[in-house]
Amino acid sequence: MQSTLVSHKGLASIGGMSAPEAVERPRRERLSAPQRQRQIVDAAAVLFRNRHYGDISLDEIAEELGVTRGLINHHFGTKRNLYVAVVRRILTVGALPVPEYVHGQTLADRLTASVAGWLDVVAEHRELWLDAVHAQGLGDPEVRQAVEDARDALAHQVAAVMGVGPVDALSGRTHAHLRVCVAGAEAAALQWVGYERVTRDEVHELVLALFEEGAARLLGPS
């Protein structure tokens, strides 16, 4: 008795038809849990950065990734939890790329490069940044806490760039002063990306002046 197992080519050749050779499907790469979570957050960030929270579904994120919604639910549970993870990632990663001391760079050089890097992040993730700053995406305590944590992290990065001392040993007064600088930078950026009242160059100039004044107050005259 002839075997019933027939190749794709054999099936298609019945009746004179031709077909290409069977193509082996690529196997889906097996990722660790942290790698998969980062992949999901990266894909969600692409969608959230240009659209509002309520306009995007988990099904759409799953389709973008080529995975099932169940896989996303497995790692994050809900869209809300995924959104919080995205907010934390965007607001805390790569905001101020310049270290405290770089050979040959002045304080002004470090602040200029740092402000430019931060504005790059704001521009790339405009809608997500606006939602996060206003806490409009969900309006719940966890999102607000994620934003507050990001503001504290940015204040610490500003301290490092200014060179005001070990960031893990800042006095309450210094930390408060830095948070005022961060609040001013945030307000200036909002006038740019939120209301389009000023240009990026104007915001850069405003924030740089704010940070330079803050450094002068904290460090004293150079």
**pLDDT tens readout for residues 147-205:** 888 888 888 888 888 888 777 788 999 999 999 999 999 999 999 999 999 999 999 99
pTM over 0.75: no
Question: So what's the pLDDT on residue 153?
Answer: 84
Question: So what's the pLDDT on residue 210?
Answer: 95
Phi, psi of 123 (to 5 degrees): -65, -40
Do residues 208 and 112 lie in contact, with contact meaning Cβ atoms separated by under 8 Å? yes
CATH 1.10.10.60-classified regions of the chain: 33-87
- Looking at domain 90-219, its CATH architecture is Orthogonal Bundle (1.10)
Positions of the chain with pLDDT under 70: 1-29, 92-104, 135-140, 221-222
Query: Could you please report the per-residue DSSP string of the chain?
Result: ---S---HHHHHHGGG---PPPPPPPPPPP--HHHHHHHHHHHHHHHHTTS-GGG--HHHHHHHHTS-HHHHHHHHSSHHHHHHHHHHHHHHSSS--S-S--TT--HHHHHHHHHHHHHHHHHHTHHHHHHHHHT-SS-SHHHHHHHHHHHHHHHHHHHHHHT-S-GGG--HHHHHHHHHHHHHHHHHHIIIIIT--S-HHHHHHHHHHHHHHHHHHHH---
CATH 1.10.357.10-classified regions of the chain: 90-219
Q: What is the CATH number of domain 33-87?
A: 1.10.10.60
Do residues 217 and 150 lie in contact, with contact meaning Cβ atoms separated by under 8 Å? no
Question: So what's the pLDDT on residue 202?
Answer: 98
Question: So what's the pLDDT on residue 222?
Answer: 55
Give the span between the Cα atoms of 160 and 207, in whole angstroms.
17
